[in-house]
Structure 1
Amino acid sequence: MSEKNREGKRAAREKLAVQREKQKSRDKRRRALIVGASVVCVLGLAAVIGVVAANAGKDDGSESAGPIVAPSGAKGKDSLAIPVGEEGAKSTLTIWEDFRCPACKAFELAYRDTIHELTGAGQLKVEYHLATIIDGNMGGTGSRKSANAAACAQDAGKFPAYHDVLYDKQPPETDDAYADENKLLDLAREVDGLDTTLFQECVKNGKHNSWVEKSNKAFFDGGFTGTPTVLLDGKNIYKDSSMTPAKFKRMVEDANK
């Protein structure tokens, strides 16, 4: 082989090596950007879940939020479920949700009217469980503080209406706007009779913060991997790609026949 050919091949190998290193650098930067701007509510890896469970709902440098105080009327194991609808309804919808979670908002807006219709007709009862997934994943305290505010609204008998407002006004996932208690108090003015001194004190004092943290721990202890998790009589209907509000309604109506 001539010296010229050897030099040409060596130059080609060196050029290819340089290109590979550049590609590795681009891939590394791309992965960093994806992680930094992630808006995914589902946490699929056990290692990630462990980190999130350990850190969700905590203020940087904060101490324990205090004694566990369940909101008025809370049901179920450890009083971690906020019930909506008639107790005697034949079908039960269990929802694990996070007020900062975009997927939760998407589910809420798609199924809200149907859920309201079925609970109003006495055919369905809903048990809401609050989690702080996004606080752990993205940082901040908005998941916990909005969940505490929702629990305060439950104390006032205004949970369903305030629940809807929190989703209607949900900020972008990367914007921890719900960490601002004044924002949560402003939203209470959109619910008749909720903006009271008692509600304001409940929100500002974080009355139900420890309860929210216990609820979030129960979420991970239950083996769930993302919000929303939606169970109809124990069956995960959110994972059913064929599920629609109409199909959901038929399932509940059939169970009530």
Structure 2
Amino acid sequence: MDLGPGRRAAPPRFVLRGVSEKNREGKRTARQKVAAARDKQKSRDKRRRALIVGASVVCVLGLAAVIGVVAANAGKDDGSEAAGPIVAPSGAQGKDGLAIPVGEESAKSTLVIWEDFRCPACKAFELAYRDTIHELADAGQLKVEYHLATIIDGNMGGTGSRKAANAAACAQDAGKFTPYHDVLFTNQPAETDDAFADENKLIELAGKVDGLDTARFQECVEGGKHNSWVEKSNKAFLAGGFSGTPTVLLDGENIYQDGSMTPAKLKQMVQDADK
């Protein structure tokens, strides 16, 4: 249609509508892309949170398992129990055959001693009291019952307490318990040094006792003949509710716990009971 000079005809309306619809479609497509991207990000975030939670649960369960293992092994020796039958040493007496007796059966006084060959306090007791104990036992006035424990193995780790106790039981088989018992305490290593876990060391110390270092003794030590018996003795100690080693009982009375006992006082008490 001719509008006259200088005037142009307006573009057809359908062209404007087409452009507008394309713009709207483009905006709608852009919004959909943004929404899709947002949904993907949410999905990734959800998976990441799930992985983090899962990993945290695994860590907590793993830590709980470690704590359980540590708690389960507290107080034990090296975490393994000796296999095989329980073989008591020759002449063992008392309940379950767990006492190694020294002295006359007819003695009027009985001294029960719970000891650990790695225990420094046990060494201190032995060095202070053993001459008096030997004197009273030799005189027929005192019977001594030695019970062996392995608490240092449990507290410090290692197997020296158990292996030394087994070696002492082997010495009992040979009729040499008392002198070998004394040699072990005289040559006790530092509490943190598990030197008695070495059977060669225990056999070497047997050379300090006349007639003990024999093939039979060596086989007994190296084979752990009395290991199960030692562990049974230690379980009896733990079940007894004692506060530690040494535990020293004179006719059933704990005489060493409060620190007031002396060798002279022990000697007087035993001699008075013998009158």
What's the TM-score, normalizing by structure 1?
0.78
1:98 lines up with 2:121 in the alignment: no
Residue 51 of structure 1 pairs with residue 51 of structure 2: no
Would you identify which runs of 4 or more consecutive aligned residues in structure 1 move more than 3 Å? none
Q: Distance in 1 between matches of 2:266 and 2:156?
A: 32
After superposition, residues 1-257 of structure 1 pair within 5 angstroms as 51-52=74-75, 55-56=76-77, 58=78, 62=80, 64-257=82-275
Post-superposition CA distance 1:81-124 (Å, at most 9, x none): 00000011000000000000000000000001100000000000
Secondary structure of the 1:225 match is coil
Aligned-partner residue type, residue 153 of structure 2: D
Contact (CA 8 Å) 1:141, 1:176: kept in 2 or not?
A: yes
1:74 and 1:80 in contact (8 A); partners too: yes
Deviations 1:51-98 (A, max 9, x none): 31xx13x4x5x4642110000000000000000000110000000000
SS of the residue 1:95 aligns to: strand
Where does the alignment leave 5 or more consecutive residues of structure 1 unmatched? 1-47
Are 1:65 and 1:206, in contact at CA under 8 Å, matched by a contact in 2? no
Q: Is the 8 A contact 1:71 1:208 kept in 2?
A: yes
1:195 Cα shift?
0.4
Separation of aligned partners in 1, 2:113 and 2:73 = 21
Say which SS state the counterpart of residue 92 (structure 1) adopts.
strand
Percent identity, aligned pairs only, is 80
Change (3 A) 1:96 1:156: same
| 2:82–2:231 Cα contact (<8 Å) kept | no
Task: Provide closer, same or farther for how the CA distance between residues 158 and 137 of structure 1 changes in structure 2, counting only shifts above 3 A.
Answer: same
**2:211 aligned partner, one-letter code:** G
Opposite residue 51 of structure 1, the aligned amino acid is A
Task: Please tell me whether Structure 1 or Structure 2 has the larger radius of gyration of its CA atoms.
Answer: 2
Deviations for 1:3-32, whole angstroms, at most 9, x for unmatched residues? Answer: xxxxxxxxxxxxxxxxxxxxxxxxxxxxxx
Q: Which amino acid aligns with 1:253?
A: Q
Gaps of 5+ in 2: 1-70
CA RMSD of aligned residues (A): 1.5
State the secondary structure of the residue aligned to 2:216: helix
Q: Is the 8 A contact 1:49 1:225 kept in 2?
A: no
Aligned length: 205
CA positional deviation for 1:49:
11
Instruction: Tell me, in whole angstroms, the C-alpha distance in 1 between the residues paired with 2:142 and 2:195.
Output: 33
